[in-house]
Amino acid sequence: MPSAFSAGVEPGGLRSAEEIKLLICYLLNSLNEPVPRKQLLEIIYGNGMANFFDTGAAADDLIQKGHVHESSDGTLRIADSGKEIAETLARTLPFTLRERSVQIALQLLSRIRANKDSVVTVEQTKKGYKITCRLREGDEDLLTVSVNTPDSLQATAIKENFLNDPALLYRSTLAVLNQQIEQDENTLRILL
């Protein structure tokens, strides 16, 4: 039976505070840009790499010791001393754990960046909900699509699906408009 200290930690995951601190430094150093604290910690404990409580305590300790800086908006960035730790000791972490953590973190950053350039509004109408998805680049709209749905469940699903990969809607729309598709009775295939 797992103890409270190992709850949620998959085989090969980290159990010592020092290893968890090292993983945090390694991730922040590898990504080389500020990452929201909540999302960084979710990457670690949400993927079974370490325990929820140990991960939070490790982050707090790194911040207190000045190896990681936390900004007023809740983002974490690596300090010079944290970079030294990551570069010196990163090889002590299991390779598969390092590889998996960076891959997951890059996916997270991709979604964060996409969400900065993506805006979704959901308005209740007399007949249901109107969802407007906007993909922006700087101050300019690249694509705006509005869809009406009969209920809030569908509206929420459309919003989440768009935010998961806003560029997919853009690429798909361009493919359809440029006739870069194949279609039969049951299938629509984009040729990009």
Q: What is the DSSP string of 95-133?
A: HHHHHHHHHHHHHHHHHHHHHHTEEEEEEEETTEEEEEE
Give the rounded percent of residues in the chain with a pLDDT score beyond 90: 31
Give the rounded percent of residues in the chain with a pLDDT score beyond 70: 90
Cβ atoms of 27 and 20 closer than 8 Å: no
DSSP character at residue 91:
G
The CATH class of 17-115 is: mainly alpha
Cβ atoms of 89 and 22 closer than 8 Å: yes
Q: What's the confidence (pLDDT) of residue 119? A: 87
If you average pLDDT over every residue of the chain, what do you get?
Answer: 83
Q: Looking at the chain, how many residues does it have?
A: 192
Q: What's the confidence (pLDDT) of residue 38? A: 87
What is the band of 109 on the pLDDT scale with cuts at 50, 70, 90?
Answer: confident
Euclidean distance between CA atoms 12 and 94, whole angstroms: 8
Mean pLDDT throughout 74-97?
A: 85
